[in-house]
Structure 1
Amino acid sequence: MDAGIAWAADELLGAEGRVTARLQITEEWPALDTDLGYAVQDETLHRRLRRGESLAGIKLGLTSAAKQHSIGISVPVTGWLTGSMLLPAGTPVPLNRLIQPRAEPEIVLVLGERLAGPGVTQDDALAAVASVRAGIEIIDSRYLGFRFTLPDVVADNTSSGLFVLGDTEVAVSAIDLAAESCRLSVDGQQVATATGAAVLGHPAAALALAANELARRGKAIEAGSVVFTGSLTEAVRLTPGIEVVAEFGHLGQVRLTAAP
């Protein structure tokens, strides 16, 4: 393994464990590019699995215009989700485990069969989906000020943190994913609305993009995986006691409250 990849994995997992932000990796390793960033991401996954975590699925980031604008990066990215990142519904968000958390409402696809690229189309991706759920991803960043370049955020597992799943599960054949509405509220006040079309025009397009990106690295999305397709709106900063509710047209609602 390249020494730079091992070093970057050490640094990012170390920052996560210490709950302390650090400089961008590119500040100290200017040669880091997107391909190397994915190599770092994959190495951190291997380490998570070796320490007993289980692979739960994948996540997409920067798939909506709102999110791209807020971060200043216009290329969608993929990352990994593990079982230890799942926050059971109703459990307060443990802010002491996170550096600078933000909440994002997302449409979550549950795969019924393995999906492997290259050449996966939106229709191919949709055919592999068994059901759909609502979700909130709690993103976090190991970089100071939540600022990073594209290679930096890829290496940092696309700002992974925690995720919450809604209780309602709908067959994919029973829902129009592009038209599915979402209303985001903070402490009882509506702050944003969107539909599934905010995610690359259709959440299945995000799934296809992920399958094709993973194929480039010799990987696939396994049956049973949960796929967070990307934020429908700009993220909400989490502060002590804040309540965030994502209410969907057919997928029910997901509610979280940050610990005081």
Structure 2
Amino acid sequence: MTTKVQQFADQLFEAEVSKNGIEPLTSIDSDLTAKDAYYIQLENINRKVEQGQRIVGKKIGLTSEAMQNLLGVGEPDYGHLLDSMVVENGGRISIDQVLQPKVEAEIAFILKKELRGPNVTTLDVLQATDYIVPALEIVDSRIKDWKIKLADTVADNASSGFYVLGGKPTKIVDVELELIGMVFTKNGELVNTGVGAAALGNPATCVAWLANKLSEFDIPLRAGEVILSGALSAAEVARDGDTFKARFAQIGEVSVRF
């Protein structure tokens, strides 16, 4: 591990603990690469595992063309999900637990078989999936004012915060993933709609990308893991007192409050 990786990992870890955002890592080191950033991410994930937390899945970000264009990248990114990030459906997140949260609605895959890249296909994902459920991801950034570039968000565990699973477990054979519609409300008011195809054309394609990307670090997707496949619409800022709910055709609804 390089000194740079260790130093940036320490800064992000402290920012998460203290709830004080830091300057973008890319403003400190303009040569910081995405690969460096993934090693920074892994350093902090390993540190949390050593402290007793458990990896329960992965999340995929930047699955929309608009978000990729915003950060000037041509592919998604990913982060790790830990058991400390789980919030029950309809549960509450204290605003003191986060820095600058936003909420996204997406489809979660629960795996029954391991997926190990490279060369994982969308069909492989469908065959390895036990079921899907609706999910809310609470994204958060340890970088001040969300002034992020790709390396910043990757290092920061893809801006992960918390996540909520809801709805009813649904077998993939019972739905058409790319056609699943979603309605997203904030405090009872419609704020966004989306459809499965918003995530790289098919959410399963996102999961295949993830399995293949992780092979660069010799990390598989394991049976039983939760995979958040990417937002189906824009993220909404969350403030104290807000309630968010997403309703998905065929697979149910999921909600969280602050």
Instruction: Please tell me the TM-score bracket, short chain as reference.
Output: over 0.9
Q: Which of 29-38 and 12-21 deviates more?
A: 29-38
Does residue 1:3 correspond to 2:14, yes or no? Answer: no
Instruction: Give the structure 2 partner of residue 183 of structure 1.
Output: 183
Q: Is the 1:62–1:74 contact (alpha carbons within 8 Å) kept by the matching residues of 2? A: no
Does residue 1:212 correspond to 2:212, yes or no? Answer: yes
Against the structure 1 CA distance between its residues 71 and 252, is the aligned structure 2 distance closer, same or farther, given a 3 Å change threshold?
farther
Deviating beyond 6 angstroms after TM superposition, the runs of 4 or more aligned structure 1 residues are none
Residues 13-92 of structure 1 mapped to structure 2, 5 A cutoff: 13-68=13-68, 73-92=73-92
Q: Which of 63-72 and 166-175 deviates more?
A: 63-72
Does residue 1:127 correspond to 2:127, yes or no? Answer: yes
Q: Is the 1:63–1:199 contact (alpha carbons within 8 Å) kept by the matching residues of 2? A: yes
Instruction: Give the structure 2 partner of residue 256 of structure 1.
Output: 256
Q: Is the 1:60–1:78 contact (alpha carbons within 8 Å) kept by the matching residues of 2? A: yes
- Cα distance, 1:4 vs. partner? 0.9
Instruction: Give the structure 1 partner of residue 163 of structure 2.
Output: 163
Give the letter aligned to residue 25 of structure 1: L
Instruction: Give the structure 1 partner of residue 234 of structure 2.
Output: 234
Give the letter aligned to residue 6 of structure 1: Q
- Cα distance, 1:74 vs. partner? 4.8
Against the structure 1 CA distance between its residues 182 and 67, is the aligned structure 2 distance closer, same or farther, given a 3 Å change threshold?
farther
Q: Give, in whole Å, the separation in 2 of the partners of 1:233 and 1:12.
A: 27
Q: Is the 2:90–2:254 contact (alpha carbons within 8 Å) kept by the matching residues of 1? A: no
Structure 2 stretches lacking a partner, 5+ long = none
Q: Give the secondary-structure state (helix, strand or coil) at the position aligned to 2:42.
A: helix
Q: Give the secondary-structure state (helix, strand or coil) at the position aligned to 1:210.
A: helix
Q: Give, in whole Å, the separation in 2 of the partners of 1:94 and 1:168.
A: 26
Report Cα offsets for 1:176-205 as digits up to 9, x if no partner.
111111001111111111110000000110
Q: Give, in whole Å, the separation in 2 of the partners of 1:119 and 1:71.
A: 26
Against the structure 1 CA distance between its residues 73 and 243, is the aligned structure 2 distance closer, same or farther, given a 3 Å change threshold?
farther
- Cα distance, 1:209 vs. partner? 0.4
Give the letter aligned to residue 235 of structure 1: A
Instruction: Give the structure 2 partner of residue 223 of structure 1.
Output: 223
Q: Give, in whole Å, the separation in 1 of the partners of 2:13 and 2:239.
A: 23
Q: Give, in whole Å, the separation in 2 of the partners of 1:249 and 1:167.
A: 10
Against the structure 1 CA distance between its residues 254 and 71, is the aligned structure 2 distance closer, same or farther, given a 3 Å change threshold?
farther
- Cα distance, 1:72 vs. partner? 5.9
Does residue 1:145 correspond to 2:145, yes or no? Answer: yes
Computed over aligned residues only, the root mean square deviation of the Cα atoms, in angstroms, reads 1.3
- Cα distance, 1:95 vs. partner? 1.0
Aligned-residue identity in percent: 33
- Cα distance, 1:256 vs. partner? 1.2
- Cα distance, 1:255 vs. partner? 1.2
Q: Give, in whole Å, the separation in 1 of the partners of 2:37 and 2:138.
A: 21
- TM normalised by structure 1 equals 0.96
Q: Is the 2:91–2:255 contact (alpha carbons within 8 Å) kept by the matching residues of 1? A: no
- TM normalised by structure 2 equals 0.96
Report Cα offsets for 1:198-227 as digits up to 9, x if no partner.
000001100000000000111110000000
How many correspondences in the alignment? 258
Q: Give, in whole Å, the separation in 1 of the partners of 2:33 and 2:157.
A: 14
Q: Give, in whole Å, the separation in 1 of the partners of 2:244 and 2:90.
A: 12
Q: Is the 1:66–1:234 contact (alpha carbons within 8 Å) kept by the matching residues of 2? A: no
Q: Give, in whole Å, the separation in 1 of the partners of 2:112 and 2:62.
A: 25
Does residue 1:101 correspond to 2:101, yes or no? Answer: yes
Q: Give the secondary-structure state (helix, strand or coil) at the position aligned to 1:178.
A: helix
Q: Give, in whole Å, the separation in 2 of the partners of 1:73 and 1:136.
A: 24
- Cα distance, 1:29 vs. partner? 2.5
Give the letter aligned to residue 117 of structure 1: G
Give the letter aligned to residue 218 of structure 1: D
